[in-house]
Chains A and B, each alone.
Chain A
């Protein structure tokens, strides 16, 4: 396959894709060299995923040409793309959780016989595993694997289908820092063995650290394709956003004399006989951001569930303004100024089948400003939604637009617009910028600081150390359900937090 050095593995020439009234890609042209790792960066909604789905045969272009190994191609479906050696790992994995690893890999490629030739495919898979250095048990059930391992299975699937070009859509968004390192090593290995890797991301550090070339996209168009060497994080970010990034505003100092608004005392949560949280105690004052750091799965989920007032089965005290949280109805808490940004946006924060307007009132749908005589006041709701979309710069600014049709960043902005529409006393935010692009992250962070300065108490749970270090006034690290360490932000270093996150002591 890889006969000519630096030959193009594939090439886009003026590719355009239109969805209804939205132009997702317009006149996209760039080429990717064989045997390289090629980054594609851009904000959410910039058209990165769309152009790659066109290459993978999932969408048909409305104009332009695609060349694979120098020959123009037209794909009817992704089957055609697969047969030309193109494979894609999607943001959301396409695995059957109840089947085993090898069953998932073989699924859709079963030999056309009455019985699956199980041993042959297993031998072949073992060869692939050895060749590319994968470590995953072929007979393990998918539901028993970690997210990182599931991703390995997705890549194995591509290799089993003899893919030469591997497209990965935001592969690191769901991984822990350690898993990211493993993945990046593995991709470098694949490149060294002659595969071409296309890596879609908006995490600039990853792009800079291991891609050869990078294509920057904005508003459906290609801004530039250039070699990665010589680029810096800030130069790349500016090209991507199209302007200089603003620094976070200077904040007021925390008023340590004020009594805490939220106080947690010896909180213990048990699930199926396992301690998920043990003796967690901390206070949050008004105008203070407490950052909860830690590797995913160390009790953050349970803590957030308690603070969102969804889990009420726990020991210890959780007091909001001196009143036990679980004795309050969630609805009343929301009226009093509880705002939540749940970690799983699609499952917990929004109803994807609702339109923007309906999502904007969700949780506040009994509020007097929206309802009179038991009936929704549509004109008032419409006006409120329109002005919120304006303030939070949500695109499109169309209250009736289905939530599922928004990019992740815009969905998160709708969530914030809803939660910040009223005075905020306590904000519980978990992974508020997961899967969100730089422009939106900047926006969300600025809003958090603004609310803090207005006197909100904020509990920020995040696995992104950078985010924790940027926003928090005080940092706690959760490890195996306990607070492993805590410090003020000015005393925190990545090394110190990293040590606590892995269970080390000072």
Chain B
């Protein structure tokens, strides 16, 4: 099988997974006594209305970053479950630089915010990389534990020393005015009026293209993929496996840290306790669905953004569907989409004209 035919097969299985997910979703709605077509209404609202699409893209942006974060580690043969912690540390980086230089003008503040998000996220990622490369600690365990550490460090800071004294809500002091990423509605895309989608979406898309270039067209990315496939052959070829391990985690941390561009710099303009609805973990599903392909991640993130937004919408559209059921449907959709075998089975079945396998 050449690379091309494999890609076609993978796309087929992803599309098949989506179809299966929709069938399953309507089934759950029907069982819960709701009109099953509501699911399609909610999902089409999330794509075909400016308001819905605005929110969908807003949810998709962080998923692009976390999806890339997980994918880079995967390509190096590492499993990064730590994107959730890395994104909180990135958000903290933005807050700290803003408190340090609150009056920076936008032209300096926005890049400063991006750099400090990358710096803190990258440092947090590096911990797991260094422990893996130097001490042989398993990266899955280390990153899971570091998630808690990061979450509670950030929670402590925003609830106590950096708490906003003017409000009772669990949130930090606000960012300096210059740090705000412009909303898309502010740069002339009026179709997205009243939605939080912002220019960090463009940063995310550009980042995906940069990562694609890095992995595909540079010797550095080549070494990373080589280590991911075979560390023994790489070592004999003169590649430093330890160095690649550390760098993969640094890059992953940087990518996850950049979630803060969207949620902190782009929308809330402060850190709200638990602002991430598990972007770091959904990023794993995004990367899996896209088979760790950076451009595929753009589409996978859009899909998961749609599902997330659609599930929220369902709750508003129906009085039978509660928030909990909406999340159940979302989870089922994610599981079905991420399970590639459904797609293969479905297409195989269609090809044989609905007959069982011979």
What residues make up the interface of A, taking CB atoms closer than 8 Å to B?
A: 20, 308-310, 329-331, 333-334, 340, 342, 344, 347-355, 358, 361-363, 365-366, 370-371, 374-376, 378, 400-402, 405
Contacts and interface: CB of A to CB of B under 8 A. Distances in A.
19 contacts: A20-B1, A309-B238, A310-B236, A329-B238, A330-B237, A333-B238, A334-B238, A347-B230, A347-B232, A348-B236, A351-B229, A354-B226, A354-B229, A355-B3, A358-B226, A362-B226, A363-B236, A400-B3, A402-B3
A353 B229 contact: yes
A166 B207 CA distance: 56
B2 interface: yes
Contacts of B233: 342, 347-351, 362
A310 to B, nearest CB: 6
Given A400-B3, A402-B2, A351 B226 contact: yes
Given A351-B229, A351-B230, A366 B236 contact: no
Given A353-B229, A363-B237, 15 more contacts: A20-B1, A308-B236, A310-B235, A334-B238, A350-B233, A351-B233, A352-B229, A358-B222, A362-B234, A366-B219, A374-B219, A375-B217, A376-B217, A376-B222, A402-B1
B243 to A, nearest CB: 12
B223 A365 contact: yes
A370 to B, nearest CB: 8
A342 B236 contact: yes
A347 B230 CA distance: 7
Interface string B236-249: 11110000000000
A65 to B, nearest CB: 17
A351 B2 contact: no
Interface in B208-239: 217-220, 222-223, 225-226, 229-230, 232-239
A401 B237 CA distance: 21
A310 B240 CA distance: 11
Contacts of B226: 351, 354, 358, 362
- For the complex of A and B, list the 7 residue pairs with the smallest distance between their C-beta atoms, beginning with the closest: A330-B238, A363-B237, A331-B238, A353-B229, A365-B219, A351-B230, A351-B229
B356 to A, nearest CB: 12
A395 B2 CA distance: 15
A20 B1 CA distance: 8
B226 to A, nearest CB: 6
A283 B345 CA distance: 61
A309 to B, nearest CB: 8
Contacts of A361: 222
A333 B235 CA distance: 14
A351 B236 contact: no
A342 B237 CA distance: 10
Given A329-B238, A375-B218, A348 B2 contact: no
A401 B3 CA distance: 8
A358 B223 CA distance: 10
A233 B183 CA distance: 79
A340 B238 CA distance: 11
Contacts of A352: 229-230
Nearest to A349: B233
Chain B CB within 10 Å — which of A310, A352, A361, A362 has the most?
A362
B230 to A, nearest CB: 5
Nearest to A20: B1
A352 to B, nearest CB: 7
A334 B238 CA distance: 8
A363 B218 contact: no
Nearest to A335: B238
A420 to B, nearest CB: 15
B197 to A, nearest CB: 33
Nearest to B227: A351
B214 to A, nearest CB: 10
Contacts of B223: 365
Given A351-B226, A354-B226, A402-B2, A371 B236 contact: no
Chain B CB within 10 Å — which of A333, A370, A376, A378 has the most?
A376
B285 to A, nearest CB: 23
A402 B220 CA distance: 21
Contacts of B2: 400-402
Contacts of A401: 2
Interface in B176-194: none
A354 B223 CA distance: 12
Interface string B1-21: 111010000000000000000
A20 B154 CA distance: 55
Nearest to B237: A363
B229 to A, nearest CB: 4
Contacts of A334: 238
B236 A340 contact: yes
B127 to A, nearest CB: 27
Nearest to B4: A400
Nearest to A363: B237
B20 to A, nearest CB: 26
A304 to B, nearest CB: 10
A206 to B, nearest CB: 31
Contacts of A331: 238
Nearest to A354: B229
Contacts of A376: 217-219, 222
Nearest to A353: B229
A351 B219 contact: no
A110 to B, nearest CB: 26
Nearest to A366: B219
A158 to B, nearest CB: 28
A60 to B, nearest CB: 9
